[in-house]
């Protein structure tokens, strides 16, 4: 059952793109939204295509489709160095275990997982755990308090800045300057290549300066193990996750509840199980969409019927009005004349007894409306 992008096969690309169209350039603090001078890396990092002569690295880089991070649980980074962090991100009451970011091509250099109160940083080409951060949730915030290992790839970079960059760009989907340890006297194109090596195409800009704090635009959420179980049709696993305290209507990083995911899957087993175990039938997504809307968009008519049978409300479609000049009007009466609107309106009222289940009153004829007749 492949109903979300985590279960789509990735494709490796193994060539180097043509030369950059221009050179990196500095953008003044008052000319960008970050409040510090930034180096625009896009002429280099967005033109590069990653490759590896090592088939294992190439295979690893695209091996994360559907990965829930279980193989990395309990694995310690080789570097035992530990540093304090103080990073906070808005989140829901429950931040459930699951993937935070999965790479789908070789230009994405990291995989991030949340498991057992740990944010696990994995270098995708090597499938290697390089760092682990302690995570707790309190008062609507996810708090990263300590990092063990190294996320800097050997560069002289503050770990807290690298972690903040990875969370904001990879997990929260925000553009954010990559940290660099200085640029004075350095070849800017080479610096851009170094940023690409560490961060891939997420390195669109960089700065050696501390970026003024600004809260993220959206909350930190995972693709929970409950969501993944629903996507796989693994009802036994889904039941375990709900029993362990994962809310059945929890929103994932894409803003969707498990029922939204189930509403577009091939079969209805997961959908029925969620409904039987208390999932809110009209639960809104982060953007206000309901599972019914998702099922309609995916053309899952059988899921639409199940949702309607479980009490989701949907208004009946309003009959189409044959307004003058429309193909329907022209086919019936030809070219509009002075009575075109009255003729179409009378026909419409005579043809239909009901117009909408959200409209209580029957429309009046046009001539009555013109005379000011009230109901």
* Predicted pLDDT of residue 319: 73
Does 349 have pLDDT greater than 80? yes
Do 304 and 288 form a contact (C-beta atoms < 8 A)?
no
Task: Read off the pLDDT band of 21 (50, 70, 90).
Answer: low
Percent of the chain at pLDDT > 70 equals 89
Percent of the chain at pLDDT > 90 equals 73
Supply 99's token pair.
């993937």
* Predicted pLDDT of residue 217: 92
pLDDT tens-digit series, residues 111-136: 999 999 999 999 999 999 999 999 99
Does 375 have pLDDT greater than 50? no
Does 200 have pLDDT greater than 80? yes
Does 179 have pLDDT greater than 80? yes
Cα separation, 312 vs 321, in Å, equals 27
Does 93 have pLDDT greater than 50? yes
Do 44 and 86 form a contact (C-beta atoms < 8 A)?
no
Give, in order, the Cα–Cα distances in Å from 337 to each of 119, 327, 333, 369: 71, 15, 10, 20
* Predicted pLDDT of residue 22: 80
Task: Read off the pLDDT band of 314 (50, 70, 90).
Answer: low
Supply 140's token pair.
């609507």
Torsion sign across C-alpha atoms 289, 293, 299, 300: positive
Give, in order, the Cα–Cα distances in Å from 3 to each of 116, 285, 299: 26, 17, 13
* Predicted pLDDT of residue 258: 98
Per-residue pLDDT averaged across 354-366, rounded?
65
Task: Read off the pLDDT band of 7 (50, 70, 90).
Answer: very low
Q: What are phi and psi of 302, to 5 degrees?
A: -70, -35
Does 354 have pLDDT greater than 60? yes
More confident residue, 216 or 317: 216
Structurally, what CATH architecture does the domain formed by 225-309 represent?
Alpha Horseshoe (1.25)
* Predicted pLDDT of residue 317: 63
Return the HEC string of the chain: CCCCHHHCCCCCCCCCCCCCCCCCEEECHHHCCCCCCEEECHHHHCCCCCCCCCHHHHHHHCCCCCCCCHHHCCCCCCCCCEEEEEEEEEECCCCCCEEEECCCCCCCCEEEEEECCEEEEEECCCCEEEEEEEEEEECCEEEEEEEEECCCCCCCCCHHHHHHHHHHHHHCCCCCCEECCCCCCCCHHHHHHHHHHHHHHHCCEEECCCCCCCCCCCCECCCCHHHHHHHHCCHHHHHHHHHCCCCCCCCCCCCCCHHHHHCCCCCCHHHHHHHHCCCCCCCCCCCCCCHHHHHHHCCCHHHHHHHHHCCCCCCCCCCCCCCCCCHHHHHHHCCCCCCHHHHHHHHHHHHCCCCCCCCCCCCCCHHHHHHCCCC
Do 148 and 180 form a contact (C-beta atoms < 8 A)?
no
Supply 309's token pair.
């049978």
Cα separation, 83 vs 128, in Å, equals 20
pLDDT tens-digit series, residues 39-74: 999 999 999 988 888 999 989 999 999 899 999 999
Does 20 have pLDDT greater than 80? no
* Predicted pLDDT of residue 2: 38
Q: What are phi and psi of 12, to 5 degrees?
A: -85, 145
* Predicted pLDDT of residue 53: 87
* Predicted pLDDT of residue 360: 54
Tell which phi-psi region holds residue 262, choosing left (phi > 0), alpha (psi between -120 and 50) or beta. alpha
pLDDT tens-digit series, residues 273-300: 999 999 999 999 999 999 999 999 999 9
Give the sheet arrangement for strand 128-138, strand by strand: 82-90, 141-149, 128-138, 118-123, 110-115, 98-101
**Domain locations in the chain?**
5-207, 225-309, 327-371
Supply 119's token pair.
């944010």
Average confidence score pLDDT of the chain:
89
């Amino acid at each position: 059952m492949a109903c979300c992008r985590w279960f789509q096969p990735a494709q490796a690309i193994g060539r180097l793109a043509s030369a950059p169209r221009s050179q990196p350039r500095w953008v003044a603090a008052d000319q960008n939204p970050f409040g510090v001078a930034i180096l625009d890396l896009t002429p280099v990092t967005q033109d590069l295509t990653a490759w590896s002569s090592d088939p294992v690295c190439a295979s690893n880089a695209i091996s994360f489709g559907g990965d829930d991070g279980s193989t990395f649980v309990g694995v310690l980074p080789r570097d035992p160095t530990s540093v304090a962090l103080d990073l906070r991100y808005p989140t829901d009451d429950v931040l459930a275990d699951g993937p935070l970011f999965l790479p789908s091509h070789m230009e994405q250099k990291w995989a991030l997982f949340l498991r057992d109160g740990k944010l696990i940083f994995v270098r995708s080409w090597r499938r290697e755990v390089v760092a682990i951060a302690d995570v707790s949730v309190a008062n609507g915030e996810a708090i990263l308090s300590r990092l063990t290992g190294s996320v800097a790839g050997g560069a002289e970079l503050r770990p807290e800045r690298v972690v903040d960059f990875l969370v904001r760009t990879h997990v929260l989907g925000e553009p954010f300057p990559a940290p660099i340890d200085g640029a004075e006297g350095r070849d800017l194109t080479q610096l851009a290549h170094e940023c690409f090596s560490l961060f891939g195409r997420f390195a669109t800009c960089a700065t050696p300066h501390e970026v003024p704090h600004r809260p993220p635009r959206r909350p930190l959420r995972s693709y929970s193990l409950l969501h993944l179980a629903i996507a796989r049709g693994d009802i036994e696993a889904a039941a375990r996750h709900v029993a362990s305290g994962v809310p059945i209507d929890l929103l994932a990083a894409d803003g969707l509840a498990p029922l939204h995911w189930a509403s577009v899957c091939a079969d209805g087993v997961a959908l029925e199980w969620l409904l039987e175990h208390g999932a809110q039938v009209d639960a809104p997504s982060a953007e206000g969409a309901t599972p019914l809307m998702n099922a309609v968009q995916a053309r899952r008519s059988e899921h639409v019927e199940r949702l309607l049978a479980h009490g989701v409300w949907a208004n009946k479609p309003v009959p189409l009005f044959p307004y003058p000049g429309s193909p329907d009007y022209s086919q019936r009466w030809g070219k509009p004349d002075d009575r075109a609107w009255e003729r179409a309106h009378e026909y419409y009222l005579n043809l239909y007894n009901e117009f909408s289940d959200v409209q209580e009153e029957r429309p009046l004829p046009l001539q009555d409306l013109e005379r000011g007749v009230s109901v």
